[in-house]
């Protein structure tokens, strides 16, 4: 039989009939019903707008917009990295900012990593990010799993619980609560007030609700408890959403500086973002005594090096978790 035939005859006869059954098979390139109707109504040469190929001017305009947005992001980052690597003479000749260093040097990075102030702030930020992310994931997973099961009071009680998660207690009540708990000038004041986020809870709960109930019911029939079901059934199926929510929490803890402004007066407990705010954004220069060196590199080079150090950890972690974003966030947002 030729491949371009439109019909074929069945070998078996229809039940109760001596005639063979005629079945039709439409070629892949033949027009469908909606396409034939569209061509009948508007002419064969006209097609819907979403079926048209983009015109050359539209393609050029898209390329220009994408290139402009990309350059507006990449050029400032290149200036920051180049200035941190530039020599003092080139920084003075360029007036403070360098696009392409001719004689790159790592002196600014050696200085900040040798500085007790910057190195200690990096340690604080790493501790807050790692411990805070693990604690926040534990709280969010437990609460999301508990509220993804049937709750006492039905949907009304569930909505009452969820709505309260989107309202902040306010700046002054939060400060008074942290003070009453004795967390002022404590590293835990950078973790506990932000250990739970309502948006992350909603995404994770929606993902848990999308897991087939047959799996959890089968585990329960086998005698598994709720914690064992969570550990052996739910969590292995939720690696994508856990990775995404963990990245959200990690970025939040790493970039946070407002809690340090409110609750921390001791500079030895400052995270790296407070160093970035105080000595880069506000324009305060880091002296040689603060850096712990005899002669410091140019202030502009030190500031840009601090910016690179503050950005590098998140930039390096993101590519490894990027593949989980569409599966973790989008699936968790549309299910439930």
How many CB atoms are located within 10 Å of the residue 105 CB?
16
Residue 280 or residue 303, greater confidence:
303
- From the number of C-beta atoms within 10 Å of its C-beta (0-12, 13-18, 19+), residue 84 rates as buried
DSSP structural state of residue 10? E
Q: Where are the alpha helices (DSSP H) in the chain?
A: 33-42, 56-85, 88-94, 107-114, 116-148, 154-163, 171-180, 198-209, 213-221, 226-229, 235-237, 239-255, 258-263, 272-276, 288-291, 299-321, 325, 331-334
Mean pLDDT, residues 146-163: 74
The H or E element spanning position 9 is strand 7-13
pTM score of the predicted model: 0.71
List pLDDT tens digits, range 87-134: 888 888 877 788 888 888 888 888 888 777 788 888 899 999 999 999
Domains annotated on the chain, with CATH: 109-334 (1.10.3720.10)
Beta strand pairing call for 20-24 and 7-13: antiparallel
* Average predicted confidence (pLDDT) for the chain: 77
- Please list, residue by residue across 241-276, b when 16 or more beta carbons sit within 10 angstroms of its beta carbon and e when fewer do: bbbbbbbbbbbbbbbbbebbebbbeeeebbbbbbbb
In whole angstroms, what is the distance from residue 212 CA to residue 123 CA?
42
State how far the alpha carbon of 138 is from the alpha carbons of 73, 99, 132, 193, in Å. 35, 44, 10, 15
List pLDDT tens digits, range 3-52: 444 444 444 444 444 554 444 444 444 455 455 544 544 444 555 556 66
């Amino acid at each position: 039989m030729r491949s371009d035939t439109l019909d074929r005859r069945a070998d078996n006869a229809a039940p109760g009939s001596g005639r063979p059954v005629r079945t039709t098979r439409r070629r892949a390139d033949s027009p469908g019903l909606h396409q034939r109707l569209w061509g009948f109504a508007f002419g064969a040469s006209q097609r819907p707008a979403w079926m048209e190929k983009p015109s050359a001017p539209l393609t050029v305009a898209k390329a220009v917009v994408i290139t402009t947005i990309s350059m507006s992001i990449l050029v400032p980052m290149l200036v920051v990295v180049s200035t941190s690597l530039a020599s003092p003479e080139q920084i003075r000749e360029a007036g403070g900012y360098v696009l392409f260093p001719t004689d790159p040097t790592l002196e600014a990075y050696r200085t900040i990593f040798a500085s007790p102030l910057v190195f200690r702030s990096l340690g604080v930020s790493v501790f807050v990010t790692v411990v805070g992310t693990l604690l926040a994931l534990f709280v969010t997973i437990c609460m999301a799993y508990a509220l993804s099961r049937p709750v006492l009071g039905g949907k009304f009680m569930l909505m009452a619980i969820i709505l309260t998660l989107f309202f902040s207690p306010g700046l002054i009540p939060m400060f008074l609560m942290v003070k009453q708990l004795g967390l002022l000038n404590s590293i835990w004041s950078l973790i506990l007030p932000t250990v739970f986020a309502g948006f992350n809870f909603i995404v994770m709960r929606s993902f848990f609700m999308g897991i087939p109930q047959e799996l959890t019911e089968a585990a329960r029939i086998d005698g598994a408890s709720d914690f064992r079901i969570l550990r052996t059934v739910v969590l292995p199926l939720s690696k994508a959403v856990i990775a995404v929510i963990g990245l959200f929490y990690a970025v939040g803890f790493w970039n946070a500086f407002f809690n340090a402004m409110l609750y921390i007066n001791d500079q030895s407990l400052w995270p790296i973002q407070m160093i970035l705010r105080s000595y880069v954004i506000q324009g305060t220069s880091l002296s040689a005594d603060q850096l712990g060196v005899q002669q410091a590199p140019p202030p502009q080079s030190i500031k840009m090096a601090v910016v690179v150090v503050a950005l590098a950890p998140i930039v390096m972690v993101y590519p490894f978790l990027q593949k989980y974003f569409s599966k973790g966030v989008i699936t968790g947002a549309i299910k439930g």
